[in-house]
Structure 1
């Protein structure tokens, strides 16, 4: 019995391991521990996983061998890397600086190839195809150091914007060259190959950019509640695109990259779906791929003689030097400072995702040998470290030169931002929470405060327990997008004063409410709840009606009445509208008077934003129905109103939620009341609006006898 158990145990731990459960457990332990251990000695996580793969692979401890399961997971990881690369690119930034991005893309693509090809061909002695493949690998770059520029607050600097734009161009060009090289290696590079490649590539792009986004938009609209289905749909698109690319005679990694570009606009960067995509990729698939890359590496080759070390050193030197020359040419062309040149070099010199993809495909087709594969791993290790250090050093210089994105005071406001979401109706909780996640400042450490106010009556305690249970479901939903929420349930005689009291307690910068429902007879005469909240708070207040998925919006139409630029909360409102447009990758159409346009243009100039903006003049604000001519079918309407007695207030704003709800019933709409200076509100225990009571009762009785005109 004991012998049987020992035999069973020794058989289970025979190397290479064959038990799938044990293999998976081992890989998960590596994914868990290698970044934690190597972070202490400042080695990037990507390198840690590759080195772990070297250790457990056939050329190391031989714990694992390359089998179909490892190959499947590593293929998924490779496609995932390219998909996320396409998905995370900021298309707004690219559009804004596209001419400069194109020139930088040309430099960072052509110069490494021009330097790399003769070195590979004449110095290292590789044939034409291998030399082209290796030199095209030099042209790729991965934005490993992007979190560094983000943390220093210079992500909107033009030097950063053109580097991101250049990534799209250079990676796309390299992937097309890869398709040609593979065709040539198979001996198929004739006229028929070029015609087939041209037609199949055109059909592939037509399907990916013409048909897939429409199907995706329809799917996200129709299957709104099924969050799991959204993720599975996105994965299906990625693998369908990869398969489609292979049919078209391209590499599957091109398909995954194009899938990322095609879905880029439909998946906001702060959404729950984006969080799931990144989370699962970073947790399982991408680490699996990096480990499998390490398993191919044969470290003994490095010690067989000077050749392997010479190749590794040459590849690394050429990669770094060629990217520095490209950054230098870009500096000369656009008159950038030395610090900006260093930022461009730092961001574009790291080789990781696309580099691995190209080299792995080249190795599979036996275009390159083991020496190049091993040399590339050394190159990735060195360039990731050089890029991170260079970017950090350059970012400090850019900050010292006073070229940060935001004015310090505005940044401090954003850092301490507090948003409150009073939830009364659980049906619109998800859409309100999604909207809040999109507009919340990324600088603020504070969670969103979700608030429920329970009436102070004999059922108060039971209602409070029920409210807390409802808040738990809200917290569960928020965790899907990793949105931090602070749950708050309070008792008050009056819901409006409960909300205003809670908002004052936490120092709220903004209150996000659902769209007011139709009031009953009593509310019409005494004053509606939302109106009471308006009168009792001084902070920015957003009324949100978000019935359709926000990804279906083609643009934002923002109505700014005359003198709205004089309101205290003008800058806050501008910042939130701009953040929303960046998340949804849509243009903003401002409808305003000439003076307001000047104020908006000044704000945009100060904050260096990449959003496309258009202006329309409008002077007649007494009849709000006239604004209908500016609105199209898939527009998100944002109307900046104001409280009674404020500078920009006018009589036509009286009962504005009802007016907008009637005219724009089919549209998503946001009504904003900018903050005002304290001391303008009534006594905080007062529930009646400042409008003359007789006028209010008269209007209430009048509306009871008159039907809404549709």
Structure 2
């Protein structure tokens, strides 16, 4: 059955992606929408299974690995100020206004802060594809977006641990912070010393595609280690890509891994977002969904956008960066699932948040397309020096 499902998904995803591009939108938008049509909510041709979920997870891991391979490390270093401003701006606004929304919904103080944290999450896997299609991934804007996503993930997860420790959850804040510090310190050390050595050793093996194989091993190990230390797997795979990007094997690995990913895993990831969406009970909470969706979009757009403006970007670039940070994706889903597990949210709010997360995911590509339309590197020479 899985073989037929994959055939249906790949055919529908490529066709829908092409149609989306013809209408002037990124292909990812068509892939998500066709996933909704294929899934149980509409035609029911494909169901969300554990196998498809695994394919989807591989897709997003490889997507962020490729983004890392394409990252200009020097530009990444220069974008530190912008990434910090964008990351914190994109956290503070959703957190504060999400808390206020929770209070207005008669949630407890802890539940309200949890709602704010869910709205503060960011997943730029959607944005990466849109940036690539618009040739913006290697620009100061694109690099700042990726750096801000790393900051967002780390800060939100630490804040979540802090909240749960006060809410009575079995969580040690010290342990959470220590794990993340150890992950980043270890990842940087391995990236600096071990990755180039491992690639050179494997390049001498007398087997087919040894370099591609070891690159994928590095990617998966980084992703797994990130996940077990409380950092999103996509951050780990992105760091693995950056580590390899400074070696002489970068171009060979990029070309072949992108071919594999674009052919099967990445389309499955985006289509699976639509397939796994649940819309039961939506009508009963329609106004809550609308209000939280608007809140989720505006707070991230304004907060991250103002952060970019304070860092020296022009208004149009700042709005493009703000729009790229809107998607909550799998990071918010993980937080929501944790919330229902420890009774910080109920099933109704969980169902509402699933739809809100989907809405933020769908609106991100067209908003980026609009603000980055006909865009060039719009940071002045003076500002680019300060970023």
TM-score normalized by structure 1? 0.46
Alpha-carbon separation, structure 2, partners of 1:290 and 1:342: 27
Higher strand share: 1
Alpha-carbon separation, structure 2, partners of 1:149 and 1:288: 21
Q: Is the 8 A contact 1:38 1:44 kept in 2?
A: yes
Look up the match of 1:173. Answer: 152
Deviations, residues 489-537 of structure 1 (Å, cap 9, x unaligned): xxxxxxxxxxxxxxxxxxxxxxxxxxxxxxxxxxxxxxxxxxxxxxxxx
Look up the match of 1:133. Answer: 117
Look up the match of 2:51. Answer: 69
- The number of equivalent residue pairs is 371
Once the two structures are superposed, the pairs formed by residues 336-415 of structure 1 within 5 Å of their partners are: 340-351=314-325, 355-365=328-338, 366=340, 369-392=350-373, 395=375
TM-aligned CA distance change 1:65 to 1:332, over 3 Å: closer
TM-aligned CA distance change 1:316 to 1:387, over 3 Å: farther
Q: Is the 8 A contact 1:204 1:244 kept in 2?
A: yes
TM-aligned CA distance change 1:201 to 1:179, over 3 Å: same
Alpha-carbon separation, structure 1, partners of 2:106 and 2:256: 44
Q: Is the 8 A contact 2:161 2:173 kept in 1?
A: no
Higher helix share: 2
Q: Is the 8 A contact 1:121 1:128 kept in 2?
A: yes
TM-aligned CA distance change 1:252 to 1:119, over 3 Å: same
* TM-fit CA distance, 1:21: 2.7
Deviations, residues 13-34 of structure 1 (Å, cap 9, x unaligned): xxxxxx2332222222123222
TM-aligned CA distance change 1:250 to 1:296, over 3 Å: same
Larger of the two Rg values belongs to structure: 1
Once the two structures are superposed, the pairs formed by residues 205-604 of structure 1 within 5 Å of their partners are: 205-224=184-203, 228-266=209-247, 271-302=251-282, 304-305=283-284, 307-308=285-286, 310-320=288-298, 322-328=300-306, 330-331=308-309, 334=312, 340-351=314-325, 355-365=328-338, 366=340, 369-392=350-373, 395=375
Alpha-carbon separation, structure 2, partners of 1:26 and 1:370: 27
Q: Is the 8 A contact 1:175 1:358 kept in 2?
A: no
* TM-fit CA distance, 1:210: 1.2
Alpha-carbon separation, structure 2, partners of 1:39 and 1:341: 26
Alpha-carbon separation, structure 2, partners of 1:199 and 1:150: 37
TM-aligned CA distance change 1:240 to 1:144, over 3 Å: closer
Q: Is the 8 A contact 1:350 1:383 kept in 2?
A: yes
Alpha-carbon separation, structure 2, partners of 1:80 and 1:397: 27
Look up the match of 1:36. Answer: 18
TM-aligned CA distance change 1:242 to 1:99, over 3 Å: closer
TM-score normalized by structure 2? 0.79
* TM-fit CA distance, 1:35: 0.8
Secondary structure at 2:246's aligned position in 1?
Answer: helix
Look up the match of 2:35. Answer: 53
Alpha-carbon separation, structure 1, partners of 2:123 and 2:273: 20
TM-aligned CA distance change 1:274 to 1:124, over 3 Å: farther
Q: Is the 8 A contact 2:65 2:238 kept in 1?
A: yes
Look up the match of 2:8. Answer: 26
Secondary structure at 2:328's aligned position in 1?
Answer: helix
TM-aligned CA distance change 1:83 to 1:355, over 3 Å: farther
Alpha-carbon separation, structure 2, partners of 1:329 and 1:404: 17
1:198 to 170, 177, 186: 177
